[in-house]
Structure 1
Amino acid sequence: MGDLYALDFDGVICDSCGESSLSAVKAAKLRWPRLFDGVDSTIEAWIVDQMHIVRPVVETGYENLLLVRLLLEIRVPSIRKSSVAAGLTIEEILENWSKLKPVIMEEWDEKRDDLVELFGKVRDEWIDNDLSSWIGANRFYPGVSDALKFASSRVYIVTTKQSRFADALLRELAGVTIPSDRIYGLGTGPKVEVLKQLQSKPEHQGLTLHFVEDRLATLKNVIKDPELDGWNLYLVFYCGMWVYFLSWVLLKQETGGTTLIKREKKQQAFPGSTFWTFPTSVRS
């Protein structure tokens, strides 16, 4: 009867690492101005470079601010306020971010909602003051724009990005308008719950369901929920750090004795990308 695709945004449709890193540096300077006193362009450039490497751990945009500050504390020992920065490596951030994040938020006395608001405000101001440079700091992956324009399937965006930013990029970079009720952004609930909402809609009964995501942890959460057994799951990555990091994660899972993933390349949906399919058998 047809297909429904629920697509993550950052890392699946859009490479927003450049924009999110620059926005995070801008926001961090506003949040912690004293820490950035004396920080020169060389250190800032190093932080932005490292942000491209640690980007896979980010689930929600505000975490970019935390990563910027943590990287600054790693690079400049004299301003350290956290107990974890000394001797911390990039690899350890990649491996342990879910444990590090609550520690630094408590030690820095930061609240999630405050950081979300600030990050959104900085992006809004950048868009208002210089839309073209904000758009230019993002890019869509090869083939994605055409795939969205000419898709015959029902497409939804399921993202932790604020909906207005995803909508602006879809319009400006891809020339695509997706109705607002098909963009589930920050504040619409966990992705697991969004998928349940989508599959329960009367108009979706009988459709083949596909969820495309770039975070292994998110797909594991879907696998754990028996109500979502009807979804075909895909882990997508592209060239560069995404390939190496995600390949390492999958290899670690397999060599650790728990084979969760069957490799299956699919080129028809988004040319230039590779999907890793989660077979139904792993759900039992």
Structure 2
Amino acid sequence: MNNSIIYALDFDGVICDSAVETAITGWKAACTLWHDMPTAVPQVMIDQFRLIRPIIETGYEAILAMRLLYLGETVEAIYSDYGDKIQSLLQDAQITVDDLKKLFGETRDVWIADDLIDWVNMNPLFDGVTAKLQQLGRQHIWYVITTKQERFVKQILKANAIELTDERIFGLDRNMSKVDVLKELLKQHPNTTVYFAEDRLPTLINVLKHDELASVKLIFALWGYNTAEDKTLAVQQAFTLQQLHNFLEL
């Protein structure tokens, strides 16, 4: 195994195409808060959610996003005023972010308990990624850095026969930012090159602001949840832009 290089990979949008599952979980959870919403999520809402997925940082936000879509907000309107719209919903519902995180996780737990196979099927890995990660595990040390709760990452990796020990999954449970995790990995692995693959442009730009992370090689995952504008802006930044086939060839 080559220990001179380690990989830190975001999960949703880099490893897993979880947009449909996130939309459905968000809808299910929203239905428990707002009883005017029908139990079954309309397909058009799932399609619209995929369009706004790039601005969602953490899964619980899907609850608010699906509520906004149900209320008739357009994709364009949500993009233009996302922060204010979700703050308004939080105030109207008298609910906190921590409440939403708990509700989102519990809603997933119920779905998994009721039909694990269906839940896993709604979380497909991107084409070729399963074999890539199985190969990566034989050649390099690698980590998952995600805003997803760790138990869900473990379920999906296990379902795809991908082995990764618990200490190599840094999820929402740890209350660490991705910047903090990368700093920790540099401490744990001195004299190594760390590659960090991420599909959210703001996350990568934030990493660039930290001088102590200057040695981290940043990969912008173009196959993930980002917009045409993100891709244009990314060209001007000090990181590598990769299509999925480039990542698979690493």
TM over 0.5, shorter chain: yes
Q: Report the alpha carbon displacement of residue 171 of structure 1 after superposing the two structures with TM.
A: 0.7
Q: What whole-Å deviation, never above 9, does each CA across 1:190-217 have from its counterpart, x for those lacking one?
A: 111111111111xx11111111101001
Map 1:33-52 to 2 at 5 A. 33=35, 35-36=36-37, 39=38, 44-52=42-50
Map 1:133-144 to 2 at 5 A. 133-144=118-129
Which letter does structure 1 place at the counterpart of 2:183? K
1:14 aligned residue:
16
For 2:241 and 2:171, how far apart are their aligned partners in 1? 29
For 2:239 and 2:135, how far apart are their aligned partners in 1? 29
For 1:141 and 1:12, how far apart are their aligned partners in 2? 8
1:58 aligned residue:
56
For 1:28 and 1:264, how far apart are their aligned partners in 2? 35
- Relative to structure 1, the CA distance from residue 40 to residue 162 in structure 2 (aligned partners, 3 Å threshold; closer, same or farther) is closer
SS of the equivalent of 1:150 reads: helix
Q: What's the RMSD between the two structures over aligned residues? A: 2.2
- Relative to structure 1, the CA distance from residue 12 to residue 46 in structure 2 (aligned partners, 3 Å threshold; closer, same or farther) is same
Which of 155, 176, 179 is the equivalent residue of 2:162?
Answer: 176
2:65 aligned residue:
67
Map 1:67-216 to 2 at 5 A. 67-74=65-72, 88-151=73-136, 152-172=139-159, 174-188=160-174, 189-201=176-188, 204-216=189-201
The sequence identity of aligned pairs, in percent, is: 34
For 2:59 and 2:87, how far apart are their aligned partners in 1? 16
Q: Which sits farther off after the overlay, 93-102 or 177-186?
A: 93-102
Q: Report the alpha carbon displacement of residue 57 of structure 1 after superposing the two structures with TM.
A: 1.2
For 1:224 and 1:261, how far apart are their aligned partners in 2? 11
Q: What whole-Å deviation, never above 9, does each CA across 1:44-99 have from its counterpart, x for those lacking one?
A: 2222221111111111110000001111112xxxxxxxxxxxxx531232344244
For 1:252 and 1:223, how far apart are their aligned partners in 2? 14
Q: Report the alpha carbon displacement of residue 161 of structure 1 after superposing the two structures with TM.
A: 0.3
For 1:93 and 1:261, how far apart are their aligned partners in 2? 29
Which of 223, 237, 246 is the equivalent residue of 1:260?
Answer: 237
For 2:44 and 2:71, how far apart are their aligned partners in 1? 13
Q: Report the alpha carbon displacement of residue 119 of structure 1 after superposing the two structures with TM.
A: 0.8
For 1:90 and 1:4, how far apart are their aligned partners in 2? 38
**Conserved in 1, the CA contact under 8 Å of 2:22 and 2:59?**
yes
**Conserved in 2, the CA contact under 8 Å of 1:167 and 1:177?**
no
For 1:223 and 1:154, how far apart are their aligned partners in 2? 23
- Relative to structure 1, the CA distance from residue 175 to residue 64 in structure 2 (aligned partners, 3 Å threshold; closer, same or farther) is same
SS of the equivalent of 1:169 reads: helix
Q: Report the alpha carbon displacement of residue 111 of structure 1 after superposing the two structures with TM.
A: 0.5
- Relative to structure 1, the CA distance from residue 62 to residue 262 in structure 2 (aligned partners, 3 Å threshold; closer, same or farther) is closer
Q: Report the alpha carbon displacement of residue 150 of structure 1 after superposing the two structures with TM.
A: 1.1
Which of 199, 203, 212 is the equivalent residue of 1:218?
Answer: 203
SS of the equivalent of 1:176 reads: coil
2:250 is the alignment partner of 1:269? no
Q: Under a length normalisation based on structure 1, what TM-score does the superposition of the two structures give?
A: 0.79
- Which protein has the larger Cα radius of gyration, Structure 1 or Structure 2? 1
**Conserved in 2, the CA contact under 8 Å of 1:28 and 1:68?**
yes
SS of the equivalent of 2:227 reads: helix
For 2:69 and 2:74, how far apart are their aligned partners in 1? 9
Which one scores higher on RCO, CA 8 angstroms, separation ≥ 6?
Answer: 2
For 1:238 and 1:140, how far apart are their aligned partners in 2? 12
For 1:120 and 1:264, how far apart are their aligned partners in 2? 32
Q: Under a length normalisation based on structure 2, what TM-score does the superposition of the two structures give?
A: 0.89
Alignment length, in residue pairs? Answer: 244
Gaps of 5+ in 2: none
For 2:31 and 2:231, how far apart are their aligned partners in 1? 36
SS of the equivalent of 1:187 reads: helix
**Conserved in 1, the CA contact under 8 Å of 2:217 and 2:239?**
no
**Conserved in 2, the CA contact under 8 Å of 1:11 and 1:237?**
no
